[in-house]
Chains A and B, each alone.
Chain A
Amino acid sequence: MAGSPCPIESMKQVVDRMGANEITITYGQTEASPAITMTKTDDPIELRVASVGRNIPGVEVKIVDPETGRDVPRGVQGELCARGYNVMKGYYKMPEATHAAIDAKQWLHTGDLATMDENGYCKITGRVKDMIIRGGENIYPREVEEFLYTHPQILDVQVVGVPDIKYGEEVMAYIRLREGIKLTEEEVKAFCDGKIARFKIPRYVQVIDEFPMTGSGKIQKYKLREMAVESLGLQKAASIETA
Chain B
Amino acid sequence: MSNERLTTVEEAEEINRRPGVLSITLGELLDTQARNHPDNDALVYVDRGLRYTYEQFNQVCRTAAKGFMKLGIKKGEHVAIWATNVPEWAVTQFSTGKMGAVLVTVNTNYRIFELEYLLRQSDSTTLILIDGWKDASYTGMINELCPELKDLAPGKLNSERLPSLKNVIFLGENCPPGMFSWDQLLDMGKTVSDEELDERQDSLDADDVINMQYTSGTTGFPKGVMLTHINIINNAIATANCMNFSYQDRLCIPVPFFHCFGCVLGTLTCVVSGATMVPVVAYNPIQVLEAIEKERCTGVHGVPTMFIAELSLPEFDKFDLTSLGLELWPVPRVPLNP
Which A positions have Cβ atoms within 8 angstroms of B? Answer: 1-2, 4, 6-7, 10-11, 13-14, 17-35, 38-42, 52-53, 56-59, 85-94, 97, 110-112, 124, 126-127, 129, 142, 149, 156, 214-222
Decide if B335 is an interface residue (CB 8 Å cutoff): yes
Which residue of chain B is the closest to A80 with respect to CB atoms? B333
Set A18, A57, A87: member contacting B324, Cβ < 8 A: A18
Set A57, A58, A127: member contacting B333, Cβ < 8 A: A127
* Residue contact B265 to A216, C-beta cutoff 8 Å: no
Distance of A19 Cα from B261 Cα, bound (Å): 22
Which of chain A's residues have a CB closer than 8 A to the CB of B21? Answer: 58, 85
- Which of B225, B230, B311, B325 counts the most chain A CB atoms within 10 A? B225
Distance of A14 Cα from B223 Cα, bound (Å): 34
Distance of A88 Cα from B226 Cα, bound (Å): 6
Which of chain B's residues have a CB closer than 8 A to the CB of A111? Answer: 333
Which of chain B's residues have a CB closer than 8 A to the CB of A221? Answer: 218
* Residue contact A34 to B261, C-beta cutoff 8 Å: yes
Distance of A205 Cα from B234 Cα, bound (Å): 45
* Residue contact B219 to A41, C-beta cutoff 8 Å: no
Question: In the complex where A18-B327, A23-B326 touch, is A91 in contact with B225 (Cβ < 8 A)?
Answer: yes
* Residue contact B260 to A34, C-beta cutoff 8 Å: yes
Set B107, B108, B327, B335: member contacting A20, Cβ < 8 A: B327
Return A8 CB to nearest CB of chain B, in Å: 10
* Residue contact B338 to A85, C-beta cutoff 8 Å: no
* Residue contact A217 to B336, C-beta cutoff 8 Å: yes
Distance of A26 Cα from B244 Cα, bound (Å): 14
Distance of A18 Cα from B21 Cα, bound (Å): 34
Decide if B154 is an interface residue (CB 8 Å cutoff): no
Which of chain A's residues have a CB closer than 8 A to the CB of B338? Answer: 6-7, 10
Which of chain A's residues have a CB closer than 8 A to the CB of B108? Answer: 215
Instruction: Kindly list 5 other residue pairs between chains A and B, CB separation below 8 angstroms, not including A58-B234, A129-B219.
Output: A4-B335, A23-B328, A52-B331, A57-B238, A216-B332
Distance of A37 Cα from B146 Cα, bound (Å): 43
Which of chain A's residues have a CB closer than 8 A to the CB of B19? Answer: 57
Return A223 CB to nearest CB of chain B, in Å: 9
Can you list 28 A-B contacts with CB-CB less than 8 angstroms, sorted by A residue number?
A7-B336, A13-B311, A17-B311, A19-B322, A22-B325, A24-B243, A26-B239, A26-B242, A27-B330, A29-B332, A30-B213, A31-B225, A33-B235, A34-B235, A35-B264, A56-B239, A57-B241, A87-B231, A88-B226, A89-B228, A89-B231, A92-B225, A92-B226, A124-B335, A127-B334, A214-B109, A218-B216, A218-B333
Which residue of chain A is the closest to B260 with respect to CB atoms? A34
Which of chain A's residues have a CB closer than 8 A to the CB of B238? Answer: 35, 38, 56-59, 86
Decide if B215 is an interface residue (CB 8 Å cutoff): yes
Decide if B278 is an interface residue (CB 8 Å cutoff): no
Distance of A222 Cα from B310 Cα, bound (Å): 30
Q: Could you say which of B58-66, B167-175, B189-197, B299-307 contacts chain A?
A: B299-307
* Residue contact B209 to A89, C-beta cutoff 8 Å: yes
Which of chain A's residues have a CB closer than 8 A to the CB of B337? Answer: 4, 6-7, 149, 156
Set A31, A56, A58, A127: member contacting B242, Cβ < 8 A: A56
B92-123 interface code vs A (CB 8 A; 1 in, 0 out): 00000000000000011110000000000110
* Residue contact A217 to B303, C-beta cutoff 8 Å: yes
* Residue contact A215 to B308, C-beta cutoff 8 Å: no
Decide if B165 is an interface residue (CB 8 Å cutoff): no
* Residue contact A22 to B326, C-beta cutoff 8 Å: yes
Decide if B212 is an interface residue (CB 8 Å cutoff): yes
* Residue contact A92 to B212, C-beta cutoff 8 Å: yes
Decide if B259 is an interface residue (CB 8 Å cutoff): yes
Set B217, B225, B324: member contacting A88, Cβ < 8 A: B225
Question: In the complex where A22-B325, A26-B265 touch, is A17 in contact with B223 (Cβ < 8 A)?
Answer: no
Which of chain B's residues have a CB closer than 8 A to the CB of A26? Answer: 239, 242, 265, 328-331
Distance of A37 Cα from B327 Cα, bound (Å): 16
* Residue contact B239 to A35, C-beta cutoff 8 Å: yes
Return B79 CB to nearest CB of chain A, in Å: 14
Which of chain B's residues have a CB closer than 8 A to the CB of A86? Answer: 231, 234-235, 238
Return B256 CB to nearest CB of chain A, in Å: 7
* Residue contact A10 to B223, C-beta cutoff 8 Å: no
Set B232, B235, B308: member contacting A10, Cβ < 8 A: B308
* Residue contact B231 to A24, C-beta cutoff 8 Å: no
Set A10, A34, A90, A94: member contacting B264, Cβ < 8 A: A34
Which of chain B's residues have a CB closer than 8 A to the CB of A2? Answer: 335
Distance of A14 Cα from B305 Cα, bound (Å): 11
**9 closest pairs, A vs B, by CB?**
A215-B109, A92-B224, A214-B216, A34-B260, A33-B235, A56-B238, A20-B327, A215-B107, A27-B331
Return B233 CB to nearest CB of chain A, in Å: 9
Q: For window 19-58 of chain B, which residues contact chain A by CB distance below 8 Å?
A: 19-21
* Residue contact B325 to A20, C-beta cutoff 8 Å: yes
Which of chain A's residues have a CB closer than 8 A to the CB of B217? Answer: 214
Which of chain B's residues have a CB closer than 8 A to the CB of A91? Answer: 223-226
* Residue contact A215 to B321, C-beta cutoff 8 Å: no
Return A155 CB to nearest CB of chain B, in Å: 9
